[in-house]
Amino acid sequence: MLKLDKLYQNKKITMSNLNSTLTRSRNKTSTPTLIWQPATVEGVWIGHAAEEGPTVGIMGGVHGDERAGVEFIRSAKSKVKIKRGTVVLMLGNLKAIKNHVRYKDINLNRHFNKHEVIKPLKSGKEPYEANRVEELIPFLDMCEAVLDLHEYNNPKDKPFIICERDSMKTALKMGAPIISFGWCKSEHGGSDDYMHSQGKQGICYELGARRATAKDVHLADKVVPRFLAAHGLTDAKLPPLFRKPMLVQTLKAVIRAKGQYKLGRSFKSFEKLIPGELIAVNGAESIYAEPGQVIIFPEPDAPVGDEAFLLGAIVNN
């Protein structure tokens, strides 16, 4: 069992009397018992099963305008059922969630790095997200694996998983139409990148389009039990949600340059590109597709300095 005394809001709750409560639960019933306690950090809850086991995290709302993860986390205490171990529930960017915006000052999803020194804003103030990431990282450190729930922009796109190869076995057990890896090199700072850097498993599940929150929460209700089973917190035997996914290695992120920027046409994420076709004019550069490439997260209105799109390649294994 984790040493979490300092993380509980209720100072009367200690690991000693929590263990005593869990022991009484084992003696009274064979039904798995999950005890939830709020942590000292706002937007974090820790749930213990009666039986010891792995510790995993589930996070939503890293982007405040992606509501499916937020709604799932808010209702998770009544949904999540485990036989053993500990689950850490986390809401990401609280101020962005409150205001239904992607982020307040900077993109939290690019700054999960305990060694990064985040620059102050032009006003001289520290970005809100710099403080929030410091609050969340200790909880990520508790976990052997973290599932980060997201949504995307284009309703024509399909759900997909972002992970690294060391999490591929879990990703395949969960299932998605597309599984993409290599993001730690091309796009740093996500929770999956952070967990990978610690030698642990991090999985980002892109559930669906932001305008389909109810549908995306319904998918999350299926995704999470498979994540928990894959890590041994339950004994459930659940088939993957999707079989035979397309595997894509992410190659690089293209940053919107100053000057002219225009996509060659309308693209969907993970769309196979025609070799030689114009992808975009970006400042002084014209970018053309190479054989086997796909485009990811094309943003026709990307601001200067933000990611315009990513390029990846389809792989066979």
* Per-residue pLDDT reduced to its tens digit, 242-283: 999 999 999 999 999 999 999 999 999 999 999 999 999 999
Q: Is 88 among the domain residues? A: yes
Beta strands 201-209 and 293-296, pairing class: unpaired
Residue 27 — pLDDT band, cuts 50, 70, 90?
very low
The whole-angstrom separation of Cα 158 and Cα 154 is 9
Are 186 and 57 in contact by the 8 Å Cβ rule? The answer is no
Q: Which ranges constitute the DSSP H helices of 145-295?
A: 168-174, 183-186, 191-197, 213-230
Give the span between the Cα atoms of 83 and 52, in whole angstroms: 9
Tell me: pLDDT of 18 over 80: no
Interval 282-298: pLDDT, tens: 999 999 999 999 999 99
197/298 same-domain check: no
Question: Do 279 and 299 meet the contact criterion of CB atoms below 8 Å apart?
Answer: no
Residues 216, 274, single domain; the answer is: no
Structural domain for 208, as ranges: 5-230
Name the band, by pLDDT with cuts 50, 70 and 90, for residue 185: confident
Torsion 168-170-171-172 (CA) sign: positive
Are 225 and 256 in the same domain?
A: no
Judged against a pLDDT cut of 80, whether residue 238 lies above it is answered with yes
Q: How far apart are CA 264 and CA 271, in angstroms?
A: 13
Q: For residues 71 and 78, what is the distance between their CA atoms, to the nearest angstrom?
A: 12
DSSP state of 300: T
Residue 236 domain flag: no
Say yes or no: 26 and 84 in one domain.
Answer: yes
Verify that 224 and 256 share a domain, yes or no.
no
**Integer CA distances (angstroms), 315 to 179, 188, 194, 293, in order:** 10, 21, 24, 10
Question: Looking at the 3D structure of the chain, how many domains does it have?
Answer: 2
Question: Is pLDDT of 133 > 80?
Answer: yes
Residue of 48, 6, 57, 3 lying closest to 26 (CA atoms): 48
Q: Is 90 exceeded by the pLDDT of residue 141?
A: yes
What would the mean pLDDT of 139-152 be, rounded to a whole number?
A: 97
What's the whole-model pTM score?
A: 0.87
Q: Domain holding 129: CATH number? A: 3.40.630.10
Q: Return the minimum-mean-pLDDT range out of 23-27, 59-63, 220-224, 304-308.
A: 23-27
- Structure confidence at residue 33 (pLDDT): 64
State yes or no: pLDDT of 8 exceeds 70.
no
Q: Locate tokens 């060391």: which residue?
A: 166
* Cα separation, 204 vs 227, whole angstroms: 11
Q: At which residue do the structure tokens 């992970």 appear? A: 163
**Both structure tokens of 167:** 């999490």
Residue 32 placed within a domain? yes
| Between 27 and 211, residue with greater pLDDT | 211
Q: Given pLDDT bands bounded at 50, 70 and 90, which one contains residue 34?
A: confident
Q: Which of 115, 276, 123, 139 is nearest to 200 (CA)?
A: 139
CA separation for the pair 206, 108 (Å, rounded): 16
The mean per-residue pLDDT over the stretch 204-230 comes to 97
What is the identity of the amino acid at 236? A
What is the arithmetic mean of pLDDT over 109-133?
92
- The reported pLDDT for the residue numbered 116 is 86
CATH number of the CATH domain containing 267: 2.40.50
* Per-residue pLDDT tens digits for 68-100: 999 999 999 999 999 999 999 999 999 999 999
Q: Are 310 and 294 a contacting pair, CB within 8 Å?
A: no
Contact 223, 156 (CB under 8 A): no
Cα Rg of the chain (Å, integer):
20
* One domain for residues 15 and 45: yes
Q: Is residue 240 part of a domain?
A: no
Of 107, 291, 109, 273, the C-alpha closest to 183 is: 109
Q: Are residues 149 and 76 in the same domain?
A: yes
Query: 211, 158 in Cβ contact below 8 A?
Result: no
For residue 222, give the nearest of 209, 208, 211 by alpha carbon: 208
Q: Is residue 241 part of a domain?
A: no
Through-space distance between the first and last CA atoms of the chain, rounded to whole angstroms = 37
Confidence of residue 13 (pLDDT cuts 50, 70, 90): very low
Residues 44-52, mean pLDDT to the nearest whole number: 95
Looking at the fold, whether 110 and 224 belong to one and the same domain comes out as: yes
**Whether residues 255 and 200 fall in one domain:** no
pLDDT at position 14 over 50: no
User: Using H for helix, E for strand and C for coil, what is the string for 154-175?
Assistant: CCCCCCEEECCHHHHHHHHHHC
pLDDT at 173 over 60: yes
